[in-house]
């Protein structure tokens, strides 16, 4: 199964839509860079296609002042957790 | 043969999927994505192109070079057949959102619905997104 | 089990976060005991290879970061020649071939073709893309 990376803010809805079209059971989504803003509860609708398999990169959250603001359904991972996700999945796709 | 059977057949024969998601002319994404597809084909890889979002606009008929002679990407599109890249998938919802029909496109394509995209994802082929 | 990794970097340095994210990820890959075999610079990512990159001293030096991965791991630092030439990234050979007065790509960065990107995809266990 695949790991999907999104790095664009929720304003770039197309990245979420196009990733969602190729997201299947067993895939994971990791939000990095400006996609951290999609981890806020207000953006929950955008993450519906990813069926609860959503993580966000902690260091990018912290840099943006978002620690403590993350939706409870989104998992927070550190850089090692990012690498672990790539160990688990044979392939990765980046949506930008 | 049903369309879904022919998609399964395409998927079984492919080495690489290149996804194009950006509009032509305004940025270099389509051109450099197509370059990867063409080089892969020249190396004997069997390549499919998936056009999503604004990427479908790169197939629009009637495109021209820009006023400063910028080549655009339509000449590369015309080369796809010569490189045996004939598996062209276009997101049906992306076309609909832009008020376009397959007849508006310069090459014959397969219009993909949600289930088709799911089948592509399940095939787990090497994929590069531009 | 140790895996081999390739990265495709498409973001210009100091413009978008992509190159920084890729370097951070590359270091974490190595810290986890994996091998970072290839970094391929494409699109605006080719600017990461500029030998003339001169950031202020209190900012991370991206080109130096890539070079240190090469020193530590033997990571190949490959720059797409077509994307590089268009954007003014030339090694000595290309500069002299095109009659340019200077060059700005030096080892361990290497100008190379897109075939090398496809090779990296085929031969390494993982390929991650970092784009702007």
Work out the number of other CB atoms within 10 angstroms of the CB of residue A57: 26
pLDDT value of residue B7: 94
Q: Which burial class, exposed, middle or buried, applies to C6 when counting CB atoms under 10 A from its CB (0-12, 13-18, 19+)? A: buried
- CATH code of A8's domain: 3.40.1260.10
Question: What token pair was written down for C74?
Answer: 């033997």
The chain A residue lying nearest B128, using CA atoms, is A93
Is ipTM > 0.95 here?
A: yes
State the Cα–Cα distance between residues B91 and B55, nearest whole angstrom: 9
Domains of chain B: which residue ranges? 3-61+71-129
The number of folded domains in chain A is 1
Contact B128 C129 (CB under 8 A): yes
**Tens-place pLDDT, residues B72-114:** 999 999 999 999 999 999 999 999 999 999 999 999 999 999 9
CB atoms within 10 A of CB B12: 9
The correct CATH number of B3-61+71-129 out of 3.10.300.10, 3.40.1260.10, 3.40.50.1480, 1.10.10.10 is 3.40.1260.10
Asked if B121 is an interface residue toward chain A (Cβ–Cβ < 8 A), one would say yes
| Residue C103 appears among annotated catalytic residues | no
Give the model confidence (pLDDT) of C61-72 as tens digits: 999 999 999 999
C4-130 CATH choice from 3.30.70.100, 3.30.750.24, 3.40.50.2300, 3.40.1260.10: 3.40.1260.10
Give contacts of A96 with chain C, Cβ < 8 Å. 131-132
Q: What is the pLDDT of residue B6?
A: 87
| Contact with chain A for residue B129, Cβ under 8 A | yes
Q: Do C17 and A92 touch (CB under 8 A)?
A: no
Q: Encode pLDDT of B54-63 as tens digits.
A: 999 999 999 9
User: Is B4 a residue whose pLDDT tops 80?
Assistant: no
- CA dist., res. C14 & res. B12, Å (int): 42
Judge whether C31 is closer than 8 Å to chain A, CB to CB.
Answer: yes
Q: How many CA atoms lie within 13 A of C80 on its CB side?
A: 23
Domain that holds residue A88: 2-95
Residue B5 has pLDDT above 80, yes or no: no
* CA pair distance C48, C7, nearest whole angstrom: 13
């Amino acid at each position: 199964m695949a790991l999907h990376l999104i790095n664009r803010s929720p304003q770039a809805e197309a990245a979420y839509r196009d990733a969602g079209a190729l997201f299947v059971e067993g895939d994971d989504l990791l939000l990095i860079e400006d996609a951290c803003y999609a981890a806020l509860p207000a953006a929950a609708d955008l993450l519906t296609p990813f069926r609860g398999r959503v993580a966000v990169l902690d260091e990018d959250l912290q840099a943006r002042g978002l620690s403590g603001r993350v939706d409870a359904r989104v998992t927070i991972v550190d850089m090692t957790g990012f690498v672990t996700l790539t160990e688990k999945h044979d392939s990765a796709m980046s949506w930008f | 043969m049903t369309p879904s059977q022919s998609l399964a057949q395409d998927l079984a024969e492919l080495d690489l999927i290149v996804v194009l998601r950006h509009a032509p002319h305004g940025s270099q994404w389509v051109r450099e994505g197509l370059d990867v597809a063409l080089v892969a084909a020249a190396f004997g890889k069997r390549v499919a192109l998936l056009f999503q979002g604004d990427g479908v606009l790169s197939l629009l008929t009637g495109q021209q070079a820009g006023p400063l002679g910028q080549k655009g990407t339509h000449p590369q599109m015309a080369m796809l057949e010569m490189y045996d890249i004939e598996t062209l998938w276009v997101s049906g919802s992306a076309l609909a959102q832009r008020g376009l029909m397959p007849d508006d496109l310069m090459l014959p394509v397969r219009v993909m619905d949600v289930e088709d995209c799911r089948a592509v994802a399940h095939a787990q082929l090497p994929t590069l997104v531009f | 089990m140790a895996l081999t990794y390739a990265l495709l970097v498409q973001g210009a340095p100091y413009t978008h976060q992509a190159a920084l994210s890729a370097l951070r990820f590359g270091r974490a890959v190595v810290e986890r005991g994996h091998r970072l075999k290839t970094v391929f610079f494409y699109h605006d990512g080719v600017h990461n290879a500029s030998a003339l990159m001169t950031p202020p001293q209190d900012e991370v030096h991206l080109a130096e970061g890539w070079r240190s991965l090469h020193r530590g791991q033997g990571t190949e630092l490959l720059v797409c020649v077509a994307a590089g030439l268009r954007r003014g990234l030339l090694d000595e050979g290309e500069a002299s071939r095109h009659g340019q007065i200077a060059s700005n790509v030096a080892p361990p960065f290497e100008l190379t073709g897109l075939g090398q990107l496809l090779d990296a995809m085929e031969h390494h266990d993982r390929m991650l893309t970092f784009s702007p």
